[in-house]
Amino acid sequence: MRAIEFRDVSYTYEDGDADGDPSNAQRGGFQIKHLNFAVEEGEFVAVLGHNGSGKSTLARLSNRLLAADSGEIEVFGTPLTKKTVYEIRKQIGIVFQNPDNQTVASIVEDDVAFGAENIGLAREEIGARISFALKAVGMEQYRNATIARLSGGQKQRVAIAGVLALKPRIMILDESTAMLDPRGRREIMDVVVRLNREEKITVILITHFMEEALLADRAIVMNRGEIVMQDKPAGIFARHEELLTYNLTLPRIGMIVKGLNAGGMPVSDTLDLEKLAGEIAECVS
């Protein structure tokens, strides 16, 4: 089943519409043009693009934080309109970039409860959902902790739990790892991959870290409000010359392969670390 589908969606920022994101500050007149794409249920899709390519706008359009100027968006077959928006927001959870800007309460369980309270669940059900969500992100022992005292990665895991408490079927991560240190990034990616595999949650991962895109089933590259590439991550990274024109680089492993080839070591164009290590070992011996 189609989880989400964009059909010919366009959106134009009006002058001075900064949209809360400093990188959008000069976006007056910026456009998303005729966006067409679909994500299947259970899929893990990465959306890549440099700053201002329109990838965050895509997230905001998908649950009507921004209403599209034209075109249609469907979520599990239901058209996204003013009437259906609250039902659809239950299905789509969005985790934003800055964990500090997503918490409404100072204690972990109170914050996770927020979404579940908003949709009017019974007390026992909310309690059960908090347990489920905190367990899913590996934070159950922090249920009564003060959020301000947690690390960046832990805060962001609480934000994910807050979204999970609504039991969404789609989760969109809008550069959710951008402000974290490498350890925090790994924590988040582990959680996301597990949610996709075990809970069968459809994941749309918006990022500019190429390494993260390697974990996805499919990658979409955006540039100036348009989709310019769409393929398996390996297929995308095989076209590195083209990627460079969109201000994107290869993941580190791709750079290493390229460097080795240029230096005269004939390794194959792989993105698999184990395989590359094997080939290097062969060449050296």
Partner 1 sequence: MKDVAFGQYYPADSFVHRLDPRLKLLFLIAFITAIFLATDFYGLAACAGVLLVIVLCSRVPLGKVFRAIRGILFLVLFTAVIQILFNHGDKAYWGGPAVYWEWKIFAVTQEGIVLAIFLVLRLALLVMCSSMLTYTTTPVALTDGIESLLTPLKWLHIPVHVLALVMNMALSLIPVLTGETERIMNAQKARGADFETGNIFRRIKAIVPILIPLLVSSIDRAEELGNAMDSRCYRGDIKRTKYKKLRFGWRDLIAFLLGAALVTGVVLLRVYVGGIL
Binding site for partner 1 (CB under 8 A): 18-22, 60, 63, 65, 86, 89-90, 92-94, 96-98, 100-107, 109-110, 113-123, 126-127, 130, 144-148, 159, 162-163, 166
- Nearer of residues 25 and 273 to partner 1, judged by Cβ: 25
Residue 21 CA to residue 25 CA, distance in Å, equals 7
**Nearest distance, CB of residue 8 and partner 1, angstroms:** 24
DSSP the chain: -EEEEEEEEEEEPPTT--TT-GGGTT-TT-EEEEEEEEEETT-EEEEE--TTSSHHHHHHHHTTSS--SEEEEEETTEE--TTTHHHHHHHEEEE-S-GGGS--SSBHHHHHHHHHHHTT--HHHHHHHHHHHHHHTT-GGGTTSBGGGS-HHHHHHHHHHHHHTT--SEEEEESTTTTS-HHHHHHHHHHHHHHHHHS--EEEEEES-HHHHTTSSEEEEEETTEEEEEE-HHHHHH-HHHHHHTT----HHHHHHHHHHHTT--------HHHHHHHHHHHH-
**Nearest distance, CB of residue 29 and partner 1, angstroms:** 20
**Nearest distance, CB of residue 127 and partner 1, angstroms:** 7
**Nearest distance, CB of residue 188 and partner 1, angstroms:** 16
- Nearer of residues 126 and 236 to partner 1, judged by Cβ: 126
- Nearer of residues 176 and 223 to partner 1, judged by Cβ: 176
Residue 183 CA to residue 180 CA, distance in Å, equals 8
- Nearer of residues 99 and 254 to partner 1, judged by Cβ: 99
- Nearer of residues 65 and 280 to partner 1, judged by Cβ: 65
- Nearer of residues 148 and 273 to partner 1, judged by Cβ: 148
**Nearest distance, CB of residue 42 and partner 1, angstroms:** 21
- Nearer of residues 154 and 223 to partner 1, judged by Cβ: 154
**Nearest distance, CB of residue 99 and partner 1, angstroms:** 10
Residues in contact with 111: Cβ distance below 8 Å, sequence separation at least 6, in sequence order: 103, 104, 105, 147, 158, 162
**Nearest distance, CB of residue 19 and partner 1, angstroms:** 7
* Token pair recorded at residue 203: 């994941």
**Nearest distance, CB of residue 169 and partner 1, angstroms:** 14
- Nearer of residues 162 and 225 to partner 1, judged by Cβ: 162
Q: How far is CA 166 from CA 74, 102, 161, in A?
A: 19, 15, 9
